[in-house]
Structure 1
Amino acid sequence: SHEIQKIEALDTEDMAKLIDQKALKEYRENALNPEHPVTRGTAQNPDVFFQAREACNPFYDAIPDMVNDYMQKVGQITGREHKPFEYYGDPNAENIIVAMGSVNDTIKETIDYLAKKGEKVGLISVHLYRPFSAKYFFNVFPKSVKRICVLDRTKEPGANGDPLYLDIVELFNNKENRPMIIGGRYGLSSKDTTPAQILSVVENLKSSTPMNQFTVGIVDDVTNRSLPVLPEISVSEAGTFEAKFYGLGADGTVGANKNSIKIIGDNTDKYCQAYFSYDSKKSGGFTCSHLRFGDTPIRSPYLVTTPDFVACHVFAYLNMYEILKGIKPNGTFLLNSMYNAEDTVKNLPAKIRKELAEKNINFYIIDATAIAEEIGLGNRTNTILQSAFFKIANVIPYELAVTQMKKAIDKSYGKKGENIVKMNYAAVDRGGDAIKVEVKKEWANETVASENATSNRPEFIKNVVDVINAQEGDTLPVSAFTGVENGTFPCGTSQYEKRGIASHVPEWASENCIQCNQCSYVCPHAAIRPFLIN
């Protein structure tokens, strides 16, 4: 969920033509009606229940042909081919993957990547899972296949295999020269499945002793069922622009990026995609926006891992997260900094300076916080930074972006008065104030000091909670949860979370305080301590 994608919508009128109105009328008349009464909901005893259930078989048996028929009719409208099972890849592939759901787009990207290297791999996408049709599966199954890997996005504890894997194994039960079939598990709880993980699946399938019932995307150092974690690869089509924006919950970053996607999508022929990830805080928490633009359809159902552009809207994040992780060489980095260029460089963590130099990054800064206060927007820096993005990234002409941003402001704030509109106009104009900072080659030689773990923090906090808070939870191995397999966590963990994200130090307003002490009671971080005197 949480995705924005540019699509061509089907006309309702075209779809309505496909509906059998006579059958629809009969279906509606099947409802309970005193004009043609039936008794429904009676109890059936063991003597007849079994037979009654089996009487439904002809209806289920007819479904695959009916679905296929309608898929052909929908295909005539869309211009695309639709089938209960679809094959993608080399027609003479010996190694194929069987999967269903959004991961198929990731697999297709990886197949294309491997095809350029001369490898022959294929994919059978399952579109009609139940009733499972052997006929339509074998209609697309290449006769050249010798090995099959079935991917399931579920876990059946105690079973010999997961559901889709067992279905495929059963299909070949009585077949001569049946291929080798292995199964694996991926992406539980919406964990991202990236091209690098699919590459690991293919490498396992090709090996002389492939692992069966494996996991991919995690490190299982307890039962040792995981495939190797490979470095991320970029499989995007040439000309695809990828960007990441790190923000603070309720600072407007996510809303601004949704607006940016719509501006580019509505005013150019480019395809657009956006994902937004959040932590669980109601406001003031971590947000990261993942944007893609390109001249070809975007089929990457996972977060951006190799961005061309990175924007960090909170200076404190530089010490908390791997902000530049995966950025492409010669990419661009925009930082919301309260310092001038010289002081910004001094206050950058050594690891940031080193990576800027090693990858020859174009580095820009803007003091959006000060600009927002100056023009009366308080802590709402989103419009300023959105404008700075369009100025620096040059995804579309900057003048067009400014015009469209101001149109959006008129629509959003027009009813709130001319003053509000003018302030937001000023924010758009000031976004062009971003300045480029020279990245010196000698920064690449800087020594990055290893972080000293605080000794008085509990082991679970250091080894698990701190890693999760650093947005690196995907790197935790299975062994990190030994002892908490039942899903429980220790209490009172928030006292160890000191983020230091405030741009201003809060001050006690004694004239407004009734000294009820409720603020101290509800503060989870124990940041407020009352002085109690009798």
Structure 2
Amino acid sequence: KRFIEALPATVKTIAVLDRTKEPGSAGEPLFQDCISGIYEGLTNGWGRIHTLPRVFGGRYGLSSKEFTPAMVKAVFDNLKLEKPKNHFTVGINDDVSHTSLEVDPNFSTEPDSVIRSLFYGLGADGTVGANKNSIKIIGEGTENYAQGYFVYDSKKSGSVTVSHLRFGPEPIRSAYLVSRANFVACHLPMFLDRFDMLKALVPGGTFLLNTPFDQNEIWARIPTPVQEALIAKKVKFYVIDATKVARDSGMGGRINTIMQVCFFALSGVLPREKAIDAIKYSIKKTYGKKGEEVVAMNLKAVDNTLEHLHEVTLPNKTNGTGPLLPPITANAPRWVKDVLGRLTAGEGDDLPVSAFPVDGTFPTGTAQYEKRNLAIDIPVWDEKTCIQCLKCVAICPHATIRAKVYDADRLGGAPEMFKSTESRIPDFKGMKFSLQVAAEDCTGCALCVDVCPAKNKTEAKLKAINMQPQPPLRLQERANWDFFLTLPELDRRRIKPGQLRQQQLLQPLFEFSGACAGCGETPYIKMLSQLFGDRAVIANATGCSSIYGGNLPTTPYTTNQCGRGPTWANSLFEDNAEFGLGFRVSIDKQREFASELIKKLAPQLDDDLVTDILQADQSNEVGIYDQRERVT
């Protein structure tokens, strides 16, 4: 009754939006409630309407899809049509059921008085925390209203985070992400090669880049499309080596405070001195419990920031490094490039419905195609100092360091900079040994350097593996890694898994996951996949391991050259011990059933073969290999 009474007498058409989908129903719940309510109201003479309005239902916001003013406009435009589309959707491109409405991507209702900012950071670098502090500083210390949305995936630390901030003199009711920004900041220089972050920057806006190159060097170091956008939009371009400022201030790799100071200095939201005083007050309040030393380091970083902030004078022509890096490597299958590549690039919302698998099945082993290029520094192998203990291979959380032994004739066609040496492992004397780093998959945690026991006898500070800047080595190491993968895997029957230096020659079937840099869990999962991966059945409890293990768009569990790999599953709402027990019971039953079948077939098969299959010892690699040969 209250609903009917609230409807104006002039209403002719109504759109009802549900944030749910009920396949098989006559309509979504709110849509049906409105129709029945209006009909009942008219029947009883309630309210001010006397004729039945046209009512159309639609869906919005499923799976956290955006709902913007442009989509609201699309709904109203649909209602104006002579025959509006019913059971429509907004926010997706439905090219299968053709329910979606066309949306104008350039439509906006935001006033120019609102300062809109985007910050591209690296997970765990403090960017999100600093931006939350900025919101507090502006919201509490000025007359401005503030709003923040923070977008990041489930790749834990080490993935891209995008902070969407708005500040303005009027209350902010924009419940959607920033699509037209006055200020864009890139906190990790590698992101500039991967993401079109100037797409959302308005003409005349400000772009801030954290980079090791100064204002005179940077122009030739950035991709050509970025240069074109900077020139076309007449962007005010600033650079700072925040990583150096952080290190010099004793803060390691935490650049959040430094970039926060730059934002306030460039955005004009607050007078510069007032902003710096507010940041210092916030530092004392936030880090006071961690001790005076931590507070002092942050204050020192604030004081050192502005002298390292420089504006770049834009040339009139481009001379960049070329196009943006593809989100997925060129050797990936087409579907991986067309779908997972778009998801990886943050363009998943633009994909049509038809692009996705009908049954929700995604391929495994796709993390190898991502090449996130997160590391500022990567490990470089010194083959002359190496004792071939393979501790670095064992401890690597992302399987980006691998070792192989192989015959010398396999080196034909090796890249000029590919390193190899004589094997020092007793069982593989006379063979060649190589240790190779996947430079574009490495996260730069340096655990390999920490664990390395071999010392360089001529330079005491060096080991058999040492960290060096990644960008100059990227192309060289990409070629080396590609060649390394062509070298044959050692026959598992020749390897003694009880010896670490031999065990780590086994191929890992868990690689390049989205776990944190330096993760302490993943080396164990990787080792499990090396020892038993081609026959492992994994019941994964919910937690970090289920996120970086079963993540989309790319998946770290993979298969060997025979197509065998771990079988993995996670049940969110089920006790994992019970879940795993179900696996065990099921496999035992399948084995029992298989035994019964082969016994029935014994007259048609060789009796000795049947006996060998049923009594086979499968406690080691040789036994497993022999059993597979019998079965096939």
What is the TM-score of this pair, normalised by structure 2?
0.59
Evaluate the alpha carbon distance shift between residue 295 and residue 414 of structure 1 in structure 2; reply closer, same or farther with a 3 A threshold: same
Q: Secondary structure at the match of 2:143?
A: coil
Structure 2 equivalent of residue 228 of structure 1: 102
Distance 1:297 1:513, change over 3 A: farther
SS where residue 30 of structure 2 aligns? helix
Please state if 1:518 is matched with 2:394.
yes
Q: 1:388 aligns with which of 262, 266, 277?
A: 262
Where does residue 502 of structure 1 map in the other structure? 375
**CA, structure 1 residues 475+389, in 2 after alignment: closer, same or farther (shift >3 Å)?**
same
Within-5 A mapping of 1:79-478:
135-173=1-39, 175=42, 177-432=51-306, 433-442=308-317, 455-478=330-353
Deviations 1:343-397 (A, max 9, x none): 2111121111111122221111111011112222111111111001111111011
Aligned residues: 394
SS at match of 2:195: coil
Shift of 1:488: 2.4
Distance 1:262 1:529, change over 3 A: same
Find the residue that maps to 2:151 and give its secondary structure.
strand
Query: Per-residue deviation at 1:271?
Result: 0.8
State the distance in 2 between where 1:513 and 1:423 align: 39
Q: 1:199 to 1:136 in 2, by over 3 A?
A: same
Tell which deviates more after alignment, 318-327 or 463-472. 318-327
Separation (CA, whole Å) in 1 of partners of 2:228 and 2:324: 14
AA of the residue aligned to 2:394: Q
Given that residues 223 and 321 in structure 2 are in contact (C-alpha distance below 8 angstroms), is that contact kept between their aligned partners in structure 1?
A: no
Residue 500 of structure 1 deviates from its aligned partner by: 0.9
Distance in 2 of aligned mates of 1:300 and 1:496: 37
Give 2:336's aligned amino acid: I
| Structure ID, larger Rg | 2
Quick one: percent identity of the two aligned structures? 48
The whole-number CA distance in structure 2 between the counterparts of 1:261 and 1:246 is 16
User: Are the counterparts in 1 of residues 223 and 324 from structure 2 also a CA contact under 8 Å?
Assistant: no
Q: SS state of the match for residue 244, structure 1?
A: strand
What residue identity is the alignment partner of 1:202? F
> For residue 527 of structure 1, what is the aligned residue in structure 2?
400
- The answer for the alignment partner of 1:40 in structure 2 is none
Q: CA deviation at 1:447?
A: 12
Provide the C-alpha distance between the structure 2 equivalents of 1:527 and 1:356, rounded to a whole number of angstroms.
35
Letter in 2 for 1:242: R
RMSD: 2.5
What is the alpha-carbon distance in structure 2 between the residues aligned to residue 513 and residue 252 of structure 1?
A: 36
Report if the CA contact (8 A) 1:354-1:446 is conserved. no
Q: State the distance in 1 between where 2:67 and 2:235 align.
A: 28
Give yes or no for contact 2:94–2:354 (8 Å, CA) kept in 1: yes
Mark the CA change 1:414 to 1:157 in structure 2 (over 3 Å): closer, same or farther.
same
Which string of whole-angstrom CA distances, capped at 9 and with x for unpartnered residues, describes residues 115-144 of structure 1?
xxxxxxxxxxxxxxxxxxxx1112221111
1: CA distance, partners of 2:210 / 2:321: 25
1:513 shift after superposition: 7.5
Q: Secondary structure at the match of 1:150?
A: strand
Paired residue type of 1:311: A
Distance 1:457 1:297, change over 3 A: same
User: For the Cα contact (< 8 Å) 2:265–2:272, is it kept in 1?
Assistant: yes
Deviations 1:27-67 (A, max 9, x none): xxxxxxxxxxxxxxxxxxxxxxxxxxxxxxxxxxxxxxxxx
Say if 2:66 and 2:176, in contact at 8 Å, map to a contact too: yes
Match in the other structure for 1:55: none
Aligned letter for 1:506? P
Counterpart amino acid of residue 60 in structure 2: Y
Inter-CA distance 281–451: structure 2 relative to 1 (3 Å threshold): closer
Quick check: 1:195–1:232 contact (8 Å CA) kept in 2? no
Structure 1 residue 172 displacement after superposition: 2.8
How many Å apart are 1:293 and its aligned residue? 0.7
Aligned equivalents of 1:266, 1:507: Cα separation in 2: 49
Question: CA–CA distance in 2 between the matches of 1:508 and 1:164?
Answer: 63
Whether the aligned pair in 2 keeps the contact of 1:237 and 1:296 (CA below 8 Å) is no
Alpha-carbon offset, residue 314 of structure 1: 1.0
Give the secondary structure class of the aligned counterpart of 1:505: strand
Cα drift, residue 442 of structure 1: 4.3
Note the alpha carbon deviations across 1:218-270, whole angstroms, 9 max, x for none: 11111111111322333123411110100000000001001111011111111
- C-alpha contact 1:391 1:431 (8 A) present in aligned 2: no
C-alpha distance in 2 between matches for 1:238 and 1:423: 37
Aligned to 2:502: none
Amino acid of the structure 1 residue aligned with 2:342? V
Partner of 1:480: 355
Contact kept? 2:183, 2:206, Cα under 8 Å:
yes
Q: CA–CA distance in 1 between the matches of 2:302 and 2:387?
A: 37
The aligned amino acid for 2:4 is F
Q: Counterpart of 1:19?
A: none
Instruction: Give, in angstroms, the shift of residue 507 of structure 1.
Output: 4.8
Alpha-carbon distance, 1:451 to partner: 7.6
Q: Cα distance, 1:288 vs. partner?
A: 0.7
Shift of 1:514: 7.2
Distance 2:315 2:72 in 1: 38
Letter in 2 for 1:232: N
Letter in 2 for 1:412: T
Which residue identity is paired with 1:271?
Y
Conservation of the 8 A alpha-carbon contact between 1:310 and 1:333: yes
Counterpart amino acid of 1:468? L
Q: Are the equivalent residues in 2 in contact too, given 1:218–1:229 (CA < 8 A)?
A: no
Aligned in 2, Cα 1:448/1:157: closer, same or farther, shift over 3 Å?
farther
Aligned equivalents of 2:125 and 2:210: distance in 1?
13
Show the counterpart of 2:511.
Answer: none
Amino acid paired to 1:292: R
| Misfit runs of 4+, over 4 Å | 445-455, 507-514
Deviation of 1:487 after TM superposition, in Å, equals: 2.2
User: Using the alignment, how far apart are the partners of 2:311 and 2:101 within structure 1?
Assistant: 43
Aligned partners of 1:364 and 1:435 also within 8 Å: yes
Q: Distance in 2 between matches of 1:271 and 1:151?
A: 29
What's the offset of the Cα at 1:531?
Answer: 4.1
Which runs of 5 or more residues in structure 2 are unaligned?
43-49, 406-424, 428-632
How many Å apart are 1:413 and its aligned residue? 3.0
What's 2:366 paired with?
493
In the alignment, the residues of structure 2 paired with residue 513 and residue 197 of structure 1 have an alpha-carbon distance, to the nearest angstrom, of: 60
Letter in 2 for 1:438: T
Q: Which amino acid aligns with 1:519?
A: I
Q: Aligned with 1:479: secondary structure?
A: helix
- State the Cα distance separating 1:449 from its structure 2 match: 5.6
Alignment CA distance shift 1:403-1:450 (3 Å):
closer
Q: Which moved more, 1:354-363 or 1:227-236?
A: 227-236
